[in-house]
Structure 1
Amino acid sequence: MKHIYAPLALAALLLSAPALAAEQIVKIGVSGPLSGANAFAGKDDENGVRLAVEELNAQKLTLGANTLKFELVSEDDQGDPKAGVNVAQKFADAGVKFVLGPYNSGVAIPASRVYSEAGILMSTVGTNPKITQGGYSNVFRIVASDLQVGGAMASYAAKELKLKNVGVIDDRTAFGQGIATEFKRQAKTAGLTIAGHEFTTDKASDFAAILTAFKAKKVDAIFFGGYAPQGAPMARQMKQLGLNAKLLGGDTLCSPEMAKLGGDAVGDNVRCAQAGAILAKQSDGPAFQQRYRKRFNRDADVYAPSFYDQTMFIAQAIRAAKSVDTKAVAAQLRASTHQGVVGSYGYDAQGNLKKTAVTVYTFTNGALAPLASY
């Protein structure tokens, strides 16, 4: 009988022994367009988080007696509001506590409610001001808003380019409408004349009718509230029509995809404003660029650095809070600051950055070239 109960006795002994250090899984979700025209941006954002997760796991951070293990869970929200809400629910069901994304404002606005109800901390690059006006304590915008980006481009257009007559086009998305409206408002304040405000969609490819109308109005520039997959063919068609005007836009035009799709039609004629300082001029910027290129065999696009930085900030906040509870982590994000590779992060009560730079770029030989920071 002694031999029969020996295994049970051994099991009891093991259970009573001090617990060995275990892994504590922290799931980091990424919601973005991994298919469709903006898949290049969604993949870039995902890569930024992936690089951060891999570096954090290499550090073997601890929380109490446990070693933290960060796991990346990525879902394609297709840049579509309905799909984005479904992704948010899927993350909630999977026990994801922290989400980087959505990329699109139109997805972030409805998804933020689901994340709030599920107690998930959401960090988005969506720039529409409405995202942080919902009163959700779990929502953070990790870049400048349309108020800042649109205002910087309006100021640049008036003071540096000395433009007088500008046409405005938006793609009817929450992002496009938001930034175009803000540019128009601040451009008027700066003394520019708005020749007209026209509309297209984020699926369009033919802009000839709108551009021909603006050519007849002799505009100095066109501000486009939309994304690179429409901005690039718009630049091509402006050249074909002999419309010698600047093409202005927000951060979504500050992408290598513009030059890739637009070819020789994208150069000094394009000006775009991107949230954040000039990465290459930041102390840790070049090293980040090298690590990203080595890991993914490509250069980082617009927001990979911001997604990387916020993932690192969340890890910092977890350790400071000594908890993975999202309310405690959110409180730490608001109470502290983080020096990232592309700038310093610190949030106000609404989840907006307290301070952020906006940089205006153009394109030289197919590459982004910074012109001025605000």
Structure 2
Amino acid sequence: MKKKTLLLPAATLAASLFVGVAHAQDEQVVLIGLAAPLTGASARIGKDLENGAQLAIDDANAKHPGIAGKPVVYKLVSVDDQSDPRTAVTVAQQLVDRHVIGVVGHWNTGCSVPAARVYHDAGIAQIAPASTGHQYTLQGFDTAFRIMGHDDDGGAYTGAYAVKTLKAQRIAVIDDQTAFGAGLANQFIKGVQASGGNVIDHQYVTDKTLDFSGVLTAIKAKRPDLIFFGGLDVEAAPLVRRMRQLHIQAPLLGAGGFVSQTFLKLSGPAGDGVTALEPGRPLERMLGGTAFDAQYRARWHAPIELHAPFAYDAAATLIAATQQANSVAPKKIVATLHAMHRDGVTGAIAFDAQGNLVDPAYTIYQVKDGKWAVVDVLGGGAPAKTLTKTAGR
């Protein structure tokens, strides 16, 4: 009897293992790509994007999804574009060769623009979580989408804010000559001019510049009452410190890529008073921001750096497209995305004919006592269920 008693659980275990293996063999693995800077100066942003996308994958898999009557499991495939356009093209092809059904990426416009052609030629959807340069969606690729607003709108908002709210009359502009920084600066200038403002100087640096003494000395001589910088937070921090050292009292205004904990750490007390416009709502005003923040901290034991909610929505939107299309065929996913209306963590998600987010929100932040404080929220619409066919305009 003892021998028989021992054999029964073993037989039961073998049967359950067989069922588990058979189920695993029946599951279809659906690959979603993520392309971001996972090494280098912007690695913290890339990791933040990866973490956000992975949470969307986890949430989807927890629901035991199926497509065409068969169980599926979603898996994230991450590649490092190093914030370099040439590398971006290489890793984009790697994702295509892995047969991903869509891509979350890239982070910066300079990478998204050349990579978009690779994805388009393969017929694969690309949803950029943070590439704000309008040129990304002006290439005519029906596979290119973005989950936040672009710089043309952001520049108009920022320019109008500088003239009408900050009452600036003598505005100087600095840009880092990247696709991102130059795009921001040019659109800001258009926004200033459209609002009746005056740009007295436009200086140029690079994204590798460490010493801003030359351009700031030239600008100081022209007595600006506002300086706009088109570039990233890691560049803006030493710029702010050097402004204080040169006793330049004009406030600094930036847009996109400023509002991070890294800027606060690098700029220190000199950062107080800096104003920036960032695409999207502040986390606490997003539709699912509070819950997402708690989920992110519980899983990754760290605060959100910047764009994780947008990466989450990009991945979740790709997943929703496979579910709505009931297919993993890239062509059907692309078509479904063009008709997509859904509520995400960051807000209502629908795309216009170019692939831009419909009615995006922008937030004005200012550094006060070493923290980013919300000044105002501009734009942004109602939840997706109340949207009409504006996605096709």
TM-score, normalisation: structure 2: 0.88
Structure 1's 257 and 306: CA in aligned 2 closer, same or farther, altered over 3 A? same
Answer yes or no: is 1:353 the counterpart of 2:357.
yes
In the other structure, the counterpart of 1:344 is 348
In the other structure, the counterpart of 1:239 is 244
Residue 64 of structure 1: how far off its partner (Å):
2.3
In the other structure, the counterpart of 1:25 is 29
Structure 1's 335 and 217: CA in aligned 2 closer, same or farther, altered over 3 A? same
Give the alignment partner of residue 306 of structure 2, picking from 299, 302, 309: 302
Amino acid at match of 2:312: Y
In the other structure, the counterpart of 1:54 is 58
Structure 1's 19 and 236: CA in aligned 2 closer, same or farther, altered over 3 A? closer
The whole-number CA distance in structure 2 between the counterparts of 1:30 and 1:24 is 19
The whole-number CA distance in structure 2 between the counterparts of 1:253 and 1:152 is 16
Structure 1's 361 and 321: CA in aligned 2 closer, same or farther, altered over 3 A? same
CA contact (8 A) 1:361 1:371 kept: yes
The whole-number CA distance in structure 1 between the counterparts of 2:52 and 2:370 is 22
The whole-number CA distance in structure 2 between the counterparts of 1:314 and 1:338 is 12
SS in 1 for 2:353: coil
The whole-number CA distance in structure 2 between the counterparts of 1:235 and 1:20 is 55
Residue 293 of structure 1: how far off its partner (Å):
1.1
Give the alignment partner of residue 226 of structure 1, picking from 222, 227, 231: 231
Amino acid at match of 2:62: A
Answer yes or no: is 1:167 the counterpart of 2:176.
no
Amino acid at match of 2:169: K
* Alignment deviations for residues 116-163 of structure 1 (CA, whole Å, 9 cap, x no partner): 112221111211111111111111011100011111111111121111
The whole-number CA distance in structure 1 between the counterparts of 2:369 and 2:45 is 21
In the other structure, the counterpart of 2:254 is 249
Answer yes or no: is 1:286 the counterpart of 2:296.
no
* Alignment deviations for residues 57-92 of structure 1 (CA, whole Å, 9 cap, x no partner): 111111123222111111110110100000011111
Residue 55 of structure 1: how far off its partner (Å):
1.4
List alignment gaps of at least 5 residues for structure 2: 1-21, 379-393
The whole-number CA distance in structure 1 between the counterparts of 2:256 and 2:64 is 35
Answer yes or no: is 1:112 the counterpart of 2:116.
yes
Answer yes or no: is 1:126 the counterpart of 2:131.
yes
SS in 2 for 1:59: coil
The whole-number CA distance in structure 2 between the counterparts of 1:40 and 1:368 is 18
Structure 1's 144 and 19: CA in aligned 2 closer, same or farther, altered over 3 A? closer
- Aligned-residue sequence identity (percent) comes to 39
SS in 1 for 2:62: helix
Amino acid at match of 1:290: A
The whole-number CA distance in structure 1 between the counterparts of 2:194 and 2:188 is 10
CA contact (8 A) 2:124 2:334 kept: no
Residue 301 of structure 1: how far off its partner (Å):
2.3
CA contact (8 A) 2:287 2:347 kept: no
Residue 176 of structure 1: how far off its partner (Å):
0.7
CA contact (8 A) 1:259 1:366 kept: yes
In the other structure, the counterpart of 2:277 is 273
Give the alignment partner of residue 141 of structure 2, picking from 129, 136, 157: 136
The whole-number CA distance in structure 1 between the counterparts of 2:102 and 2:200 is 44
In the other structure, the counterpart of 2:375 is 371
The whole-number CA distance in structure 2 between the counterparts of 1:367 and 1:323 is 45
Residue 19 of structure 1: how far off its partner (Å):
9.6
| Count of residues paired in the alignment | 356
List alignment gaps of at least 5 residues for structure 1: 1-17
The whole-number CA distance in structure 1 between the counterparts of 2:224 and 2:234 is 23
Mapping of residues 7-22 of structure 1, within 5 Å:
22=26
Segment of structure 1 superposing worse, 356-365 or 229-238: 356-365
Structure 1's 138 and 163: CA in aligned 2 closer, same or farther, altered over 3 A? same
SS in 2 for 1:179: helix
Answer yes or no: is 1:206 the counterpart of 2:211.
yes
Amino acid at match of 1:263: G
In the other structure, the counterpart of 1:188 is 193
Answer yes or no: is 1:176 the counterpart of 2:181.
yes
In the other structure, the counterpart of 1:11 is none
Give the alignment partner of residue 202 of structure 2, picking from 164, 188, 197: 197
